[in-house]
Amino acid sequence: MGKKMWDGRFQKETDQAANDYNTSLPFDCRMYEQDILGSLTHCYMLEKQGIISKEDSASIEKGLISICNDIKAGELCFDSDAEDIHMFIEAELTNRIGEAGKRLHTGRSRNDQVALDLRLYLLDEICEIRVLIMNLYHTLIYKAMDHLTTVMPGYTHLQRAQPITLAHHLCAYIQMLQRDVTRLDDCKERMRFSPLGSGALAGTTYPLDREFVAAKLNFRGPMINSLDGVSDRDYAIELAGVLSILMMHLSRFSEEIILWSSQEFAFVELDDAYSTGSSIMPQKKNPDIAELTRGKTGRVYGDQIALLVVMKGLPLAYNKDMQEDKEAIFDAIDTVKAALVPFEGMIETMTIRADNMKEAASGGFTNATDLADYLVRKGLPFRSAHEVSGKLVKYCIDGKMSLSDLSLDEFRSFSPLIQEDVYAAISLLTCINNRTLIGGPAPDTVLAALNVAKEFA
């Protein structure tokens, strides 16, 4: 086992099992670029402040860049004995450039180093996730634009309720995704503060320029309390919460895709490239992408809960428990990114079975509310109109008819206020087209909403 950089006061080597238990390198190695970027910036600041020489700074810079290039090229493997990515890179640096490498950690602790690396890593991942959400967002917009007049039933309690359009339905998810993106953006802005310079917990006596480091790393500024800088992970918990909400939205949409692709609904047919078959039943076409997304949502929820539980009882400042932050937030990020790509492809390629959607809207008395509204316009109080419409629905159910199948005499037997114009009033297109209020399903209203949605970036 290699020599530890902190073992000056220790008389015995770390037990191998304890070392294996203690190491975080297998999962925090993914932060090597952020660790090297942070170290380079710290190095430049140390030179600027006259804490290390220009010669040492140049050696450190050259060494760190060579390490980064070698890792990327697969020419440098991570040492399994190293505690973490920070110690691995520092040890490798010292091995390459000698004494100058030992000066890099001046005025810095692993506590503020790991806090910096994690923030930098999460900021990069937020940008990638945002792109993936926006890809899905624009796919939904294009899909909705093609179905401004595709009639379908809207549901409450999974019962057919009122006629809407597919575009109107998809617009609901467009709005949800827009809020998911703004939550990501808000989370990112709160995350953009540099902990570097917090030291282990109480800063340092070296004349560091924390503002310089923060600006170089594109942070809004340094964190103003050193204890807070190293001891909180609320930014990771917040991101996990944002990702949980995003996955909740994808899960709800997945549930609808699963229902819609069933033979009982038959509203959509999923493309073969985004479906699977059965090992025993040759007729099956399974919506596995949607089902997996629905299932993996619970996994992301679990990651957020894990982070909350890790942090809930920790005294200030750093505690080793906090090493558990990375696997949870990394898993949440990986799960979300893995879901978004095939989910977007599934939506883009699915075939809409518009005739089945319209038939479902026609057969579920989705125009009953509009019949009541028709009677209100004829002078009947709404509660009375509601009762008349309900009785007509019951009459149709008993007779296995729809409202539009009734004769005028049958209508008038329930209310003399009903005239010939009732048929136009309760047609599905009329029901939809008359709902022109902001947020409604009228095609022109939805089109206006989609045009606004296109401007969101």
- Give the separation between CA 401 and CA 188, rounded to whole angstroms: 56
Q: CB burial class (10 A; 0-12, 13-18, 19+) of residue 74? A: exposed
Cα dihedral angle (380, 385, 388, 392), rounded to 10 degrees? 120
Per the CB < 8 A criterion, the answer to whether 39 and 104 are in contact is yes
Q: Is 157 a catalytic residue?
A: yes
Q: CB burial class (10 A; 0-12, 13-18, 19+) of residue 256? A: middle
Which position has the token pair 């770390």? 14
**Measured CA distances, 291 to 67, 137, 352 (Å):** 42, 20, 19
Q: Is 244 a catalytic residue?
A: no
Q: What backbone phi and psi angles, to 5 degrees, belong to 158?
A: 60, 20
The answer for residues whose C-beta is within 8 angstroms of residue 425's C-beta and 6 or more apart is: 370, 371, 374
Per the CB < 8 A criterion, the answer to whether 153 and 358 are in contact is no
Amino acid identity of residue 150, one-letter, is T
DSSP string, 136-153: HHHHHHHHHHTTTT-EEE
- Give the separation between CA 333 and CA 192, rounded to whole angstroms: 18
Per the CB < 8 A criterion, the answer to whether 54 and 62 are in contact is no
Catalytic residue, chosen from 262, 278, 404, 413, is 278
CA-wise closest residue to 368 among 347, 395, 386: 386
Q: Could you write out the three-class secondary structure of 174-215?
A: HHHHHHHHHHHHHHHHHHCCECCCCCCCCCCCCCCCHHHHHH
The answer for residues whose C-beta is within 8 angstroms of residue 385's C-beta and 6 or more apart is: 371, 372, 373, 374, 375, 376
Cα dihedral angle (270, 275, 277, 282), rounded to 10 degrees? 20
Beta bridge partners of 194: 222
By annotation, the residues acting in catalysis are 157, 278
